[in-house]
Structure 1
Amino acid sequence: MINKPSLPQGTRDFNAAVIRKRNFIFSTIKNIFEIYGFQPLETPAMENFETLMGKYGEEGDRLIFKILNNGLSNEKNIEKTKAGFEKLLEGKNSTDITERALKYDLTIPFARYVAMNHTKLTFPFKRYQIQPVWRADRPQKGRYREFTQCDADVVGSKSLYNETELANIYHQVFCELRITNYELRINSRKILAALAEACGGNEKMVDITVAIDKLDKIGIDKVKIELEERGLTTIQIETIEKFLNITGSNQQKILALHEMFGKNKLAAEGMQELAFVQNHAIPETNLVFDFTLARGLNYYTGVIFEVKAPAEIKMGSIGGGGRYDDLTGLFGVNDIPGVGISFGVDRIYDVMEELNLFPEDLQIGPKAIFFNMGQKEVDFAFNIMQNLRNHGIACEIILEEMKIAKQFSLAEKKNIAYAIIIGEKEIEQNYCQVKNLATGEQHVVVLENLVEFLGKMP
């Protein structure tokens, strides 16, 4: 018995209707990236495992898709292979088993590219990238194992105006897509570092941010349990809980932070960063200071972003990013500061679909279709069709014989605007019948005028 074909969990096929909608999102984002001076870049689907490992924090590292090495079944390698798999089961990597992995995001491969090419690049270097990434995550609504990211990054500049530009890119893109009631949540890792200082020192930073990053998923009680498991004291956990409970307007949150941290230098720097972005970027109705925002990735050093979908949509973040001033240092190239953002296109698609925000004209197929009135007529119409294509008019011809009613049904399913009918009589008298399939209106058009006629029609 033949098994039915299926897809791997967390992946999808895209038909023409979906691709048109996705391309609408891609082109909107790409156009705005280029308005802001960003240039395109592509990197391979796979990277060396050591390039990716250790860059995403303990949670992220677990989600990296490893690629098995060739030749594992070779009898000469059996013992090495067994030992390698034992190491994998212990949570350690073995180069005997895997030396490559699918890329988890676009940021680390970009940092690798900059490190490899920094002597050839002109700084500040602004690049955008639109490519798929892969994560071994548990599939659920809005969470896929293969999805497309659209990133924009600036490296070689410490100016906070870069953060402002990126916030404005978010605003402009979402306004173009008509997702106007999004929330851009921002925080600074320096504020989180101040919290770590208040809870025993910088060595607590990873423990605190990893736990805080799960707040939306597991709630405050389970976050407190995790913090306790990570060795924080009751007093330290109470300090973190007080921090996480800061609410109110942006101004009220800043006042509460001042009260909590006093003259702490890191906290003051973080608050100044947030104030700068607030004063120079998007409308305050969309901008929210969120001190619970941690972005569990280890490489962030300053302002961090996360975009939340409209409240009526039950969806995770639809974008995120932040400043990473030490990222290329991971590859031996120091002193290249950077900041970037990412759009989660697959989730943005789901939001737009749920809110019915896609333009209706995206689903229009070819402009015209030639009906099949017999083999002789098809031979004649084929050349006419090619002439239309040469003039930029999208069209096709029905090559199989079928009843006229079925041909009309086919044209309707393909969202084609006009049916062109050329029978024996039309060939003899050098004209055709053009029928508007939406209105039923029919025109007699001389064949020499067909290009001009269709060119004027909507």
Structure 2
Amino acid sequence: PFARFVVMHRNEIGFPFKRYQIQPVWRADRPQKGRYREFYQCDADVVGSDSLLNEVELLQLMDEVYSRFGIRVAIKLNNRKILSGIADVIGEPEKIVDITVAIDKLDKIGLEKVNEELREKGIAEEAIAKLQPIILLEGSNREKLAVLRDVLAASEVGMKGISELEYILDRIDASPLRSALDIDLTLARGLNYYTGAIVEVKALDVQIGSITGGGRYDNLTGVFGMPGVSGVGISFGADRIFDVLNQLDLYPKDSLSTTQIMFVNFGEKEQEVCLAHASLLRRAGIRTEVYPEAAKMKKQMSYADSKKIPYVALVGENEIAAGKIAVKNMVTGEQQMLTVNELVNFLK
């Protein structure tokens, strides 16, 4: 949908074009834990720029989001060009998709099953043997790239992929992330349209699939007749992030907060004053309710109690005459008289 939008509005938008959007999406495969038939996705993309600074900024964006949530994550990074280079040097360049789809499953099904799948796809034993040390590569990010420089020396596309990752690492080193950033050669992302950097985020303290993913795509708009437009984008899986926040008890308490104060409704005359007060409180960012009808006091108080509203405001004839509001703490039962401005400061 985003590629189509860019093509349709190519004469109205300036490039590079950045956008984020949050929308429901659907998938056809079998639902399972953390894998919903309908789910919300938050996308962030930049199109019309080849610069790898965009990748750097998206990594920083992911790091910022998860730092604010308080979720410990590992950001996994790879490059599709490196995967193409690996397919070249093991002698199976036309099987790049089969190889990447299989090794992408390493952490789910293990090495033996990955090798079985490679055999089923008709990949030669010699090629599978050459693939083993690459799949199981360990060490720091720089050590992994140093080994890959030797392994992929004969592959021009593979060497370009290594250079791109080094550029990203150099920029991140200058402004380090709070989250772990790991080069992971098994990261392939099943989608076939990525052409450069590939990224995925895993939560460290919860068993769940990736919670963010994305990468560089160089010809996504070509499907709609606009070739040569490069883009890079990521998607946050909102529902999975909610699951992680709930499991770790990190869900922002404020987002579940109810009304902060409710005005008791004594009748028409008092109601007008309460509405004016409520309007002022709301403008100050205080969540305020006015009970909609002049019901019995017991009923109104029971409602406030059942909704766990911490304060109730009582504005009767005496309060109106004094220009004050009687404010009752629903937990302690304490009551005090405040002006509306004092009430704003008190609740804040």
Letter in 2 for 1:252: E
How many angstroms apart in 1 are the aligned matches of 2:276 and 2:31? 48
Aligned length: 339
Question: Retained in 1: the 8 A contact 2:312–2:327?
Answer: yes
How many angstroms apart in 2 are the aligned matches of 1:402 and 1:380? 16
Question: Retained in 2: the 8 A contact 1:151–1:340?
Answer: yes
How many angstroms apart in 2 are the aligned matches of 1:415 and 1:395? 13
| Aligned pair partner of 2:218 in 310, 325, 331 | 325
**RMSD of aligned alpha carbons:** 2.4
Deviation of 1:145 (Å):
1.3
How many angstroms apart in 2 are the aligned matches of 1:285 and 1:148? 24
Which position in structure 1 is the counterpart of 2:127?
236
Mapping 1:243-262, distance limit 5 Å: 243-262=134-153
Deviation of 1:430 (Å):
7.3
Which position in structure 1 is the counterpart of 2:180?
286
How many angstroms apart in 2 are the aligned matches of 1:187 and 1:155? 20
For structure 2, list consecutive stretches of 5 or more residues without a partner in the other structure: 283-287
Which position in structure 2 is the counterpart of 1:455?
344
SS at 2:262 equivalent: strand
Letter in 2 for 1:347: R
SS at 2:13 equivalent: coil
How many angstroms apart in 1 are the aligned matches of 2:221 and 2:169? 28
With over 3 angstroms needed to count, the CA separation of the structure-2 counterparts of 1:363 and 1:440, relative to structure 1, is: farther
Which position in structure 2 is the counterpart of 1:382?
271
Deviation of 1:456 (Å):
1.8
Which position in structure 2 is the counterpart of 1:309?
203
Letter in 1 for 2:293: L
> CA offsets, 1:140-173, max 9 Å, x none?
3222111111111111111111111111111122
> CA offsets, 1:53-86, max 9 Å, x none?
xxxxxxxxxxxxxxxxxxxxxxxxxxxxxxxxxx
TM-score by length of 2: 0.89
Which position in structure 1 is the counterpart of 2:313?
420
Mapping 1:33-72, distance limit 5 Å: none
For structure 1, list consecutive stretches of 5 or more residues without a partner in the other structure: 1-108
Question: Retained in 2: the 8 A contact 1:363–1:415?
Answer: no
How many angstroms apart in 2 are the aligned matches of 1:403 and 1:382? 14
> CA offsets, 1:8-39, max 9 Å, x none?
xxxxxxxxxxxxxxxxxxxxxxxxxxxxxxxx
With over 3 angstroms needed to count, the CA separation of the structure-2 counterparts of 1:400 and 1:239, relative to structure 1, is: farther
> CA offsets, 1:313-367, max 9 Å, x none?
1111111110001111122111111111111111112222222223433333223
With over 3 angstroms needed to count, the CA separation of the structure-2 counterparts of 1:256 and 1:119, relative to structure 1, is: same
Which position in structure 2 is the counterpart of 1:338?
231
TM-score by length of 1: 0.69
Question: Retained in 1: the 8 A contact 2:242–2:251?
Answer: no
How many angstroms apart in 2 are the aligned matches of 1:326 and 1:178? 36
Matched, 1:111 2:3: yes
Relative contact order, higher structure (CA 8 A, sep 6+): 2
Letter in 2 for 1:361: D
With over 3 angstroms needed to count, the CA separation of the structure-2 counterparts of 1:333 and 1:202, relative to structure 1, is: farther
Letter in 2 for 1:227: L
| Aligned pair partner of 1:220 in 87, 103, 111 | 111
How many angstroms apart in 2 are the aligned matches of 1:208 and 1:161? 29
Question: Retained in 2: the 8 A contact 1:182–1:309?
Answer: yes
Mapping 1:106-255, distance limit 5 Å: 109-179=1-71, 181-255=72-146
SS at 2:14 equivalent: coil
How many angstroms apart in 1 are the aligned matches of 2:267 and 2:30? 52
Which has the higher mean CA deviation after the structures are superposed, 152-161 or 191-200? 191-200
Question: Retained in 2: the 8 A contact 1:370–1:398?
Answer: no
The sequence identity of aligned pairs, in percent, is 46
> CA offsets, 1:368-396, max 9 Å, x none?
21335xxxx23333212211233243222
